[in-house]
Amino acid sequence: MIRIEQYNSGGELPVLMPGIFFHSAEFFRILEISSGIKPVMLVAYDGAEEKGHLLLMLKRDFRIIPPGFFNWCSIYSEGVYAADCKDYNEIFSLFVKHLLKMLDIRYFFVEARYIADSRMTYRTFSRFNFVPRHDLRIYISLHSRPPEQRLSRAYHTHIRQATARGVTFGRVTDKNEIDKGLKILKKYYASKIDRYLAPTRLLAAMLENNEAGEPDVRMFAVYNKEQKMIGCSICLYTQERAIMLYSCGLRKSYPLLYPGIMSVWVAIKDAHARGIAHFEFSVSGAPLKQKTGYRNFLLNFGGKQVSTLRWVRYRWDWLNKMLRKIYV
């Protein structure tokens, strides 16, 4: 008989089976010190044996439209399950059922994204009236060809011109430089309504507390010839994958130095040097739009796009049922 246990603090957490970083005890403890986020770990047991676990992020956010604070819950991927687990569909359903019972009326919606195996989760999400939204994943295969051979001709030229004009780049380890990069990211993402930037305190903790082992979180910075930071990016390495979480460049102030392109390029080069097989972008855009803007920017690095789904469930069940009739 499977039972679900809920853990609300890092001191209560048991020893968990290894898995992806977004459902690890290390990530749970980092989230604990971040403002606006409350982590909750759900663990499934069969007797005394763990069969899987799922990390929930309860967030409090402020939006201009509509104005005010609101609470919501975020889930990254479907969780971690034992290798010999044959009933993971049932366990995932129990996780979602427990989650919906746990949340009160204050929570505006639940969002689940980065689902690797949609066959595993589709039945559960449909049963609990989650609304599917089409999304894109863009990734670059680094194992078959070097990244230079995947670049578009225009980006080859831009990178060569930026280097000739004195642009340098590399990994950032100094705390003061990390703070500078986080300030640039915060200012850049403040105007991006459709993109979410994690609290800077959370990002700083991820960058400063992972030197001893995996998963590894790194910041890369781009400098002009006066050694002023004009762009940066943050990349997460886990399970032989590199995931770019955030990137930005002061492209309006330094258009001829291509800081946006260089901030992504330095992270791709680092992943290739470390022997990482796949490089993935965490935010790629909506598939209904044409290949313009940010998605076209990413595809110029030689990426491939794959259609995927993110799932949303709002507070009002009548609204979920109405939206499912429209989108399903």
DSSP string computed for 267-300 = HHHHHHHTT-SEEEES----TTS-S-HHHHHHHT
Per-residue pLDDT of the chain (328 residues; tens, 9 = 90+): 889 999 998 888 999 998 888 898 888 988 888 778 899 999 999 888 999 999 999 988 766 655 667 788 999 888 899 988 777 888 999 999 999 999 887 888 999 988 877 777 889 999 999 999 887 788 898 888 889 999 999 999 999 999 999 999 999 988 999 999 999 998 888 777 556 677 788 888 888 765 545 568 899 999 999 999 999 999 988 777 898 989 999 988 999 999 999 999 999 999 999 899 899 987 654 444 544 577 788 888 988 888 888 899 998 999 999 999 988 7
pLDDT of residue 209: 64
Q: Considering the entire predicted model, what is its pTM? A: 0.82
- The Cα 237–Cα 224 span in angstroms is 27
What is the separation, in whole angstroms, between the first and last Cα of the chain?
33
DSSP 174: S
Which segments of 190-276 does DSSP mark as H helices, in order? Answer: 200-208, 259-273
Q: Rounded distance, CA 100 to CA 111, Å?
A: 12
For residue 156, give the 3-state DSSP assignment: helix
